Amino acid sequence: MKIVDARVIVTCPGRNFVTLKIVTDEGVTGVGDATLNGRELAVVSYLRDHVAPLLIGRDPARIEDTWQYLYQGAYWRRGPVTMSAIAAVDTALWDIKGKVAGLPVYQLLGGRSREGVTVYGHANGETVEEVLVEVARYIDLGYRAVRVQCGVPGLPKTYGVSADKLFYEPADAALPSEATWSTQRYLSHVPTVFARVRDEFGPTLRLLHDVHHRLTPIEAARLGRSLEPYALTWMEDPVPADLQEGFRLIRQHTTTPVAVGEVFNSVFDAAQLIREQLIDYIRTTVVHAGGITHLRRIFDLAALHHVRSGSHGATDLSPVCMAAALQLDISIPNFGLQEYMRHTAQTDEVFPHGYHYADGYLHPAEAPGLGVDIDEEAAARYPYAPAYLPVNRLEDGTVHPW
């Protein structure tokens, strides 16, 4: 069996997605997600101009060899563009391997380690009262874990708080929009939100919160300490992970668990945090961390150091990525949680898939391969539209980590 075609498909059914479809001479196809939110066309060019020509004539069964060929052979290694492109190839090859074997991919990864994949949803509101309504709605939908985000009094807009509560899309403009941020207002308000949520819903609901990289280590330590009475499952992205020594300071001052890694591209980004046990959950994804092959390596390292998975699952990850993530989630021993932001009906039309949600769990497809595809005719009806994530500024106008 040989690869005879590798085509890149760009579509925007409400938001942009980049998909690689690999075709073999025996008619077996595989798909991989290559979406990089706000920088999609950079990956499109990387795939079309630099990767797809290298795949023609290769044996699709040689997944590891192809991964090393694209990673080691590029000289310019890692980074979000390169690793998203490699991820798309890797994921598509796993899809083909599963189809040839007649098995869902998770069976090739060792089989099930659990019956379902526990997911969390996003409850958000401009006010605490709106947040309580949204948390109750997710509980009614069967969720056992809920991320809580709330507007900050005195700020006109807060990242993570949306008008559409089920289909939130933060990349909202053809040029980046700008918002105002105040760390002091935020640190004063967040503990009061979780006090109300715990008082309303009791001690057993798993609660999470995303800081979106906005604090310094000592500020994050203060937040973590103030949230300890409310027993969060995790505090996500408390600081930018560029200076990883900063996580030691957080760890010294709070027992609130920490989750990080959605912007990581490789095991080298996560190795220090994992080995020093400075985090509790690693949030790397199939699409941005080199595909199933490399993400499994990250999870294996994490398992040795009592760190669990908690993969990013926002709407900018297509159903192809979610289908692939579930194959790993169901099989690894150190699974923690899977983020699950639902896609729109238009997106589901473009990406027909077999995974499904029931009673707080996602269940991977049982079809051979990943159990997902792309309808190219439907995709063609939704052309690419530029969209960027917003930029934050402090009240004095200084650009701030979003």
189 carries an active-site annotation: no
Is 319 within 8 Å of 343 (Cβ atoms)? yes
- Active-site residue identified among 159, 357, 384, 388: 159
* CA pair distance 319, 352, nearest whole angstrom: 8
The alpha-carbon radius of gyration of the chain (Å, integer) is 21
166, two tokens: 């089920």
Question: For residue 346, how many other CB atoms are within 10 A of its CB?
Answer: 17
Q: Is 294 a catalytic residue?
A: no
At 196, list the tokens: 């109300």
CB contact at 8 A, 234 and 310: yes
Q: What phi, psi does 100 have (nearest 5°)?
A: -65, -40
Phi, psi (5° rounding) for residue 192? Answer: -70, -30
Q: Which of 122, 189, 212, 312 is catalytic?
A: 212
Q: Give the amino acid at 281.
A: Y
- Supply angle C-alpha 13, 17, 20, rounded to 5: 130
For 94, 126, 128, 130, 375, the CA distances from 139, given in Å and listed in that order, are: 35, 19, 17, 14, 33
Cα–Cα distance list, 206 to 71, 99, 185, 198, 292 (Å) = 38, 37, 25, 10, 27
Residues with a known catalytic role: 159, 212
